[in-house]
Amino acid sequence: MVSISTRLEQVRTRIAAACTAAQRPAGDVTLLAVSKTFGADAVREAHAAGQRAFGENYIQEALAKIESLADLRAQLHWHLIGPIQSNKSRAVAENFDWVHAVDRLKIAQRLSDQRPDHLPPLQVCLQVNISGEASKSGLAPAEVAGVAKAVAALPRLRLRGLMAIPEPAGDIEAQRVPHRALHALFERLRADGLPLDTLSMGMSADLEAAIAEGATLVRVGTAIFGGRG
């Protein structure tokens, strides 16, 4: 059985190769290890192999893991990448470092109101439904500019950028199309004066395409932790 540390090294090698192919420095891309459905021991093993940023989809599962790993709290960066219900926003505001799936101004306002003063601002990305899928959460591209400006003005948040989960595609050229569209939207917001620096796009199957189109953070689970039962 391949260890988590070996899988992490393989993913880092993939990221470095993709950066080289895109003529980008390897340090441009942050690896977010998606640890949903895997226990605290798996996170601890990844931490021992040098990983610091972890992504979780399910709030209750994540809170239990954060508590189990309290001894490492200062060293770990916890990112919520799944949806947020209004009744869970306080737990998110109080426990996470990043939120990637903000898709409504109402949720952003709740997160800002509920972020404790003793913590640094909550780092947030807006989720964009870049492929226009009926089954996906996220803002329509046309809605993003207005919401982004409103979120950027909230006091306890820092708007960092955009996140998307594009529709799966079979080859790298097809995979690049939605990532290119998200990058173009990102650059329009920057041109309008928003100081964004994060494009959260690309997963185990399409990280090369995402990096080719400007991803600054890739969310990788299966290639690090293995298949989910």
The total of other beta-carbon atoms located within 10 Å of residue 173's CB is 10
> Residue 203: enclosing H or E segment and its boundaries?
none
Rounded to an integer, what distance in angstroms lies between the CA atom of residue 75 and that of residue 174? 37
The total of other beta-carbon atoms located within 10 Å of residue 13's CB is 11
How many C-alpha atoms does 77 have within 13 Å on its Cβ side?
15
pLDDT at 229: 52
CB distance 59 to 78 below 8 Å? no
Task: List the Cα angle 186/188/190 in 5-degree steps.
Answer: 70
Length of the chain counted residue by residue: 229
CB distance 200 to 161 below 8 Å? yes
pLDDT at 170: 86
Below-70 pLDDT ranges, the chain? 229
- Enumerate domains of the chain plus CATH numbers: 4-225 (3.20.20.10)
pLDDT at 156: 98
pLDDT at 75: 98
Q: Is 44 exposed, middle or buried (0-12, 13-18, 19+ CB in 10 A)?
A: middle
pLDDT digits (tens, 9 = 90+) for 1-25: 899 999 999 999 999 999 999 999 9
CB distance 115 to 97 below 8 Å? no
Taking only Cα atoms into account, the Rg of the chain, rounded to an integer number of angstroms, comes to 17
pLDDT digits (tens, 9 = 90+) for 165-190: 999 998 999 999 999 999 999 999 99
